[in-house]
Amino acid sequence: MNWKGHTLMNKYIFTLLISALGLRVFAQANISPAGPQDKKTVIMGAKLHIGNGQVIENGYLIFDKGKITGVGDATTVRFDFSGSTVINANGKQVYPGFIAPVTNLGLAEYESVKATLDFAEIGTFNPHIRSLVAYNTDSKVPATLRSNGVLMAQITPQGGTISGSSSVVQLDAWNWEDAALRKDDAQHLNWPVTPKPRPGFGSRAAVSEELLKERTQKILFELDQLFAEAKAYAETEKPAVINTRLAAMKHLFDGQQKLFISADAQKDITAAINFAKKYGITPVLVGGEEAYLMIPFLKENNISVVVKQPHALPNSVDDDVNLPYKNAGILANAGINVVVSIDGYWQQRNLPFMAGTVAAWGLDKEKALQTITLNTAKVLGIDKSTGSLENGKDATFFISAGDALDMKGNRVEQAFIQGRSINLDNLHKQLDKKFSAKYASEKK
């Protein structure tokens, strides 16, 4: 199915549904994407969190034409401010834009309205599905994320064994073409796991453990066969027959595209990594709940780990109840490149606080910041252009009145994407103003 056509159809269906039911939906003010930067800008006096572990207590940041052109200690240099816009940020803090990995942001709008959910396709093996062309830049959700400093995201399909390819976008754009920072950065594989057998009821017979294992082995066999065919297809200079599924996997084998594998149990992680190695691929592990049990194996194979849901309970009754809080710190302190993520789309606004939790449970504060900035940029292959405040990189960052990894301190006052000063209004702020005014007037 064509994702772009599917998305347009979903929009029409949703509009008709709302009209037919006569539902009242709060309308968000039309927020247009910001225009290009037209003047060199200097930020003075802020505490700069570079994103690579370095902190400058009283710094300056200069950016022009969307790129950072200067960064350093403001007490050691003198400036000629003529022709520049100067932002006094004394007492404030500057951070690189946060990056949300492995999210269906922009592919879903209302969880209770099926027509607005466009993140999964029918079928088991869908490497040819591209999430980017279904990304909805008119969604109300990204504006809420921007208000907490999340300025980029990896838009990721879900479902099946191979879900399809993700792409990295910036969150202030007219359409998906404008939004794209890196197209088709990774394929996403959900490692097949044998489910636990369940008793049958009524006419539905119980499925035995042996049959469940047989089904899993069949999927693994088909997966291996698909990769073998895709590798052979990639090595064929001019295939006689075009196969869109195999063609979509071509760049897994030359390193231009990454393979993200979701697996949690120790045996599944081992099997998944060994499977990828068989085809010359160094995968990125997503989830990895038991990754802390196999740190030497992960380091030996140069595996990065996308830790999911630090705010969670452990799966095993034998685990430390605080293990989900500690997991990222355990891995990062052992020398593994760790990225922090959170499930869902509107939930991404809480991503900074996931990193804050990681910092509170064993990881240095600046290293915790890296788990949602530079570490993520490296895993997504965009670290040459973003992820830290360094010369030559995109001017994608924000100014906060306080600590952006803390719920009380995260007060984003200004944000820039590629040098463009973006609008920080959102639906939540509008509703807050609306009802605050209502109840304030009733008190008089």
Per-residue buried b or exposed e for 22-33, using 16+ beta carbons within 10 Å of the residue's own CB: eeeeeebeebeb
Q: Per-residue confidence at 279, pLDDT binned at 50, 70, 90?
A: very high
Distance CA 358, CA 44 (A): 30
Distance CA 229, CA 241 (A): 13
Three-class secondary structure assignment of 347-413? HHHHHHHHHHHHHHCCCCHHHHHHCCCHHHHHHHCCCCCCCCCCCCCECCEEEECCCCCCCCCCCEE
pLDDT digits (tens, 9 = 90+) for 118-170: 667 778 899 999 999 999 999 999 999 999 999 999 999 998 999 999 999 99
What pLDDT score was predicted for residue 318?
A: 84
Q: For residue 15, give the 3-state DSSP assignment.
A: helix
pLDDT digits (tens, 9 = 90+) for 318-369: 888 999 999 999 999 999 999 999 988 889 999 999 999 999 999 999 999 9
By DSSP bridging, strand 180-190 and strand 397-400 are: unpaired
What pLDDT score was predicted for residue 204?
A: 55
From residue 198, alpha-carbon distances to 118, 209, 259 in Å are 30, 9, 32
C-beta of residue 286 within 8 angstroms of C-beta of residue 269: no
What pLDDT score was predicted for residue 115?
A: 66
* 3: amino acid identity, one letter: W
| Tokens encoding 5 | 């056509």
Instruction: Report the range of poorest mean pLDDT among 32-36, 66-70, 100-104, 231-235.
Output: 32-36
Query: What's the mean pLDDT in 412-434?
Result: 91
Report which of residues 79 and 293 the model is more confident about.
293
What pLDDT score was predicted for residue 11?
A: 53
| Tokens encoding 113 | 């309205």
Query: What's the mean pLDDT in 426-437?
Result: 85
Query: What's the mean pLDDT in 56-70?
Result: 96
Angle, helices 266-278 vs 209-234, to 10°: value is 30
Report which of residues 83 and 115 the model is more confident about.
83
Q: How many CA atoms lie within 13 A of 307 on its CB side?
A: 30
Percent residues over pLDDT 90 in the chain: 68
Q: Per-residue confidence at 276, pLDDT binned at 50, 70, 90?
A: very high
Query: What's the mean pLDDT in 242-261?
Result: 94
What pLDDT score was predicted for residue 119?
A: 66
C-beta of residue 34 within 8 angstroms of C-beta of residue 81: no
pLDDT digits (tens, 9 = 90+) for 68-112: 999 999 998 888 888 899 999 999 999 999 999 999 998 987 776
All domains of the chain, ordered by start, with CATH?
A: 36-97+389-424 (2.30.40.10), 98-191+229-388 (3.20.20.140)
Q: Per-residue confidence at 195, pLDDT binned at 50, 70, 90?
A: confident
Q: Is the pLDDT of residue 23 over 60?
A: no
What pLDDT score was predicted for residue 21?
A: 41
Q: Which residues pair with 165 in a beta bridge?
A: 130, 187
| Tokens encoding 75 | 């007490």
pLDDT digits (tens, 9 = 90+) for 161-185: 999 999 999 999 999 999 999 999 9
What pLDDT score was predicted for residue 76?
A: 87
Q: Per-residue confidence at 430, pLDDT binned at 50, 70, 90?
A: confident
